[in-house]
Structure 1
Amino acid sequence: MKKRPTILDVARQAGVSKSTVSLVLQNSSLVKPSTRTDVEKAMAELGYVYNRSAAGLRGAQSGLIGLIINDLRNPFFTEFAASAQMTFARAGYSTVVANTDEDPDIQSQVIASMIEHGVSAFVISPAYSDDDGAFNRIERAGIPTLQVLRKQDDRTDIFPFASHNYDTGGALATEHLIEKGCKKIAFVGGLKDRPITLERMSGYDSVMKANGLTPQAFFGRPSRAFGREIALEILKEHKDLEAAVCFSDLVALGMLSGFAEIGVQAGNYFKIVGFDDIEECSLAYPRLSSVRCDSALFGQNAAEAMLAWIVEGKRPPDSMRYNVELIKRQSSLGTS
């Protein structure tokens, strides 16, 4: 018996990717007319018949979403994941949540396992990796996938990307500190040369240079421990520094602890602005100024975008960026 042609056979015949064939089958407006013609011609030549009922069972009707997070220990990502999961639940979808702990090998294992269990879609805040194998596996499986908060795979025509305007956030924080009279301002935290670090630092860097000031960075794992360590180092070896824009609130909260440990109250002697505006920012003392990224609303938006994709066939744009705002509190305004 002659083997029934598959979507992969059509892709090879037309000289396109499997995902492109899928988009044609979904009547997506994202496909160029010439490409659509090539795919339809290949289907006719091979005698390919699209089994829509089977595709539905594999897709939205399986009711299972894979939500993969790079660091669930960070309250910012936890709030995002909880909001996304609740949005999916209200729409009748179950969510499988996995924490990769910034480990690309674990990420690959989790993705492979979720594909085997028939997830309808992926929402992934990825661990960085030099290996595209995990995303290639998703592409071969033809599963709708949204990258969030970090972009691991540049093929946003296949894996759309959603995040915040981090460069704007860094600029707002730096402009605020300059308005408060600071000139010696450091950027603290984030692993050097990581795309997410460069994004969050870019606004700081451009504003410093535009004002004739010299940028200075202290790179490291974005944790409370690193923030505390840098606070102690600044007081010993960089006493000319007046303020810091931190990669994350965890780094900023660590700096608050470091200063408090030796009797220095941040906000007056040294000004600090965090990034993300997790709940603890408004509860710490001094209360922490921070760039608000509203992770709960972002989680809801990301889940709704994915639901529109798998239920209604409305694919998200290749790239989406959401606005941020600066919340000014005691750590930069002062406590008196």
Structure 2
Amino acid sequence: MKQRPTILDVAKQAGVSKSTVSLVLQGNPAVKEETRKAVRQAMADIGYVYNRSAATLRSATSGLIGLVINDLRNPFFTEFAASFQMELSNAGFATVLANADEDPGLQRRMIASLAEHGVAGFIISPCYGEEAATLSELAASGTPTLQVFRRLEAEGGALPFLAPDYLHGGRLAAEHLIQQGCRNIAFLGGLNDRPVTRERMSGYLSVLEEHGRAPLVLRGQSTRAFGKDAAARLRREHPEVDGVICFNDLVALGVLAACPDLGMRAGQDLRVVGFDDIEDSRDSYPPLTTISCNIPDFAATAARRIVAWIKEGEAPPASARSPVRLVVRASSGVNNRQKGTRDD
């Protein structure tokens, strides 16, 4: 018996990618009319028939959710993935986990592979780069997709977005350090031109402006190694700095680790605040003051929204922010009697 033509056969016949054929089949308006006609003609030439109801049924009944994470080496994302998987399990879905490793090409291939295996939905914390190609791949899949933590498109884009309130977190951190008596506060970490960097930094900048303080920003990779290097640079070039807000806890943990060798007492000579509240922040020396993103609650919200979209057709809001709170520990100079949690 002759094998039925596939979407790959159509793509070969039309001289386009499989993703482009999928976009045409879904009626996506982004495809040029000339390309649309070529794909339709190729379908007619080889006798390809698209079974839309079968494709929808496969997706809706697979019971699988694709979770694509930009960097699972970062414990923040690992903690999210674990919490999200448990929440989905309670809802009767299984999680297929993929680590993009900050490689947009790998990310795109994984999305295509998961779509071919009929996942019912995607949760993606995307890596940056080749955004248009990644969005095209997601559109071609025709699968409900929720972006978390990072966004590949501007406000009002086609894919809904859920993230912590980074701006408010930056404000909480800066206000706390000023209340602790810091006069010169630096912001450490985060790469240029990344929306998440701008958001986490913007709260810090606005508070310093309100208090008439000059900002100092040292940008770089969000790693412990960068934190160590940044602490040494502050000691060498900016000894007046008495407080730092770090892009994430990894940078902050690097700063704490470097302080003894630099002759600085964390929490006294230099007050340190991180961002994320990963598990290691509770066990550092001294314990790290940080902005908590409430990962278990965040994961539960993301799981509920993707399941409701799949089961009920209820799409999430175009953009939503989850609450953050300041978790006060000894790295910012707070003694045991003062320690606590703030979310104001």
Range of TM-score over shorter length: 0.7 to 0.9
Aligned to 2:237: 237
Specify the code of the residue in structure 2 equivalent to 1:260: P
1:208 is matched with 208
Percent sequence identity over aligned pairs? 48
Map of 1:110 onto structure 2: 110
**Structure-1 separation of matches of 2:302 and 2:232:** 39
Amino acid at match of 2:285: Y
In the alignment of these two chains, the number of paired residues is 297
Match of 2:189 in 1: 189
Work out the CA distance in 2 between the residues paired with 1:71 and 1:317.
Answer: 25
Per-residue deviation, residues 57-81 of structure 1 (Å, max 9, x unmatched)? 2322111111000111111111111
Structure 2 vs 1, CA of residues 9 and 54 (structure 1 numbering), >3 Å: closer, same or farther? closer
Q: TM-score, normalised by structure 1?
A: 0.83
- 1:220-242 Cα offsets, whole Å, 9 max, x none, are 00000000111112112211111
Output the CA distance in 2 between the equivalents of 1:94 and 1:331.
39
Contact 1:226/1:254, CA 8 A, preserved across alignment: yes
Q: Aligned pair in 2 of structure 1 residues 204, 164: CA closer, same or farther (>3 Å)?
A: same
Please name the residue that 2:274 is paired with. 274
Distance 1:214 1:249, change over 3 A: same
Q: Relative to 1, partners in 2 of residues 1:93 and 1:156: Cα closer, same or farther, differing over 3 Å?
A: farther
Q: What's the CA shift string for 1:148-185, capped at 9, x where partnerless?
A: 00001337553100001100000010011111111210
Tell me, yes or no, if structure 1 residue 256 matches structure 2 residue 263: no
Q: 1:185 to 1:326 in 2, by over 3 A?
A: same
For 2:223 and 2:254, the matched residues in 1 are separated by: 7
Query: For residue 11 of structure 1, what is the aligned residue in structure 2?
Result: 27
C-alpha distance in structure 2 between counterparts of 1:195 and 1:7, whole Å: 28
Report if aligned partners of 2:112, 2:141 keep a CA contact under 8 Å in 1.
no
- Say if 1:291 and 1:10 are closer, same or farther in 2 by CA, change over 3 A: closer
Shift, 1:194, TM fit: 1.1
1:29-44 → structure 2 map (5 Å cutoff) = none
**1:91 maps to what in 2?**
91
How far apart in 2 are the matches of 1:156 and 1:96? 28
Specify the SS of the correspondent of 2:27: helix
Change (3 A) 1:69 1:9: closer
**Runs of 4+ displaced beyond 4 Å:** 6-10, 50-53
CA offset digits 1:86-136 (Å, max 9, x no partner): 111222212110111111111111111111111111100000114411211
- Superposed, 1:1-336 pairs within 5 Å as 8=24, 11=27, 16=29, 54=54, 56-154=56-154, 156-334=156-334
Offset at residue 304 of structure 1 (A) = 1.1
3-state DSSP class of the match of 2:65? Answer: strand
User: 1:11 and 1:250, CA in 2 relative to 1: closer, same or farther beyond 3 A?
Assistant: same
Give the 3-state SS of the residue equivalent to 1:67 in structure 2: strand
* SS of corresponding position for 1:59: helix
TM-score (norm 2): 0.81
Determine the C-alpha separation between the residues in 1 that align with 2:250 and 2:23.
Answer: 47
Asked if the contact 1:112–1:134 (Cα under 8 Å) also holds between the matched residues in 2, the reply is no
Gaps of 5+ in 1: 1-5, 19-49
Q: Distance in 1 between matches of 2:335 and 2:227?
A: 21
Aligned equivalents of 1:186, 1:81: Cα separation in 2: 31
User: Which secondary structure state, in structure 2, belongs to the residue aligned with residue 128 of structure 1?
Assistant: coil
For the residue of structure 1 that corresponds to 2:259, the secondary structure is: helix
In structure 1, give the amino acid aligned to 2:74: N
1:35 alignment counterpart: none
Question: Does the 8 A contact of 2:189 with 2:219 survive in 1?
Answer: yes
Distance in 2 between residues matched to 1:260 and 1:224, nearest whole Å: 15
Contact 1:67 1:122 in 2 (8 A): yes
**1:320 is paired with a residue of what secondary structure?**
strand
What SS does structure 2 have at the residue aligned with 1:86? helix
TM superposition shift of 1:11? 3.4
Q: In 1, distance between residues paired with 2:23 and 2:288?
A: 53
Segments of 5+ residues of structure 2 without an aligned counterpart are 1-21, 32-49, 337-344
Q: Give the 3 Å change call, closer, same or farther, for CA 52–167 of structure 1 in structure 2.
A: same
Q: Is the 8 A contact 2:155 2:319 kept in 1?
A: no
User: Within 2, Cα distance between the matches of 1:258 and 1:7?
Assistant: 52
Distance 2:235 2:179 in 1: 23
Q: 1:181 to 1:120 in 2, by over 3 A?
A: same
Distance in 2 between residues matched to 1:9 and 1:188, nearest whole Å: 47
Q: CA deviation at 1:300?
A: 1.6
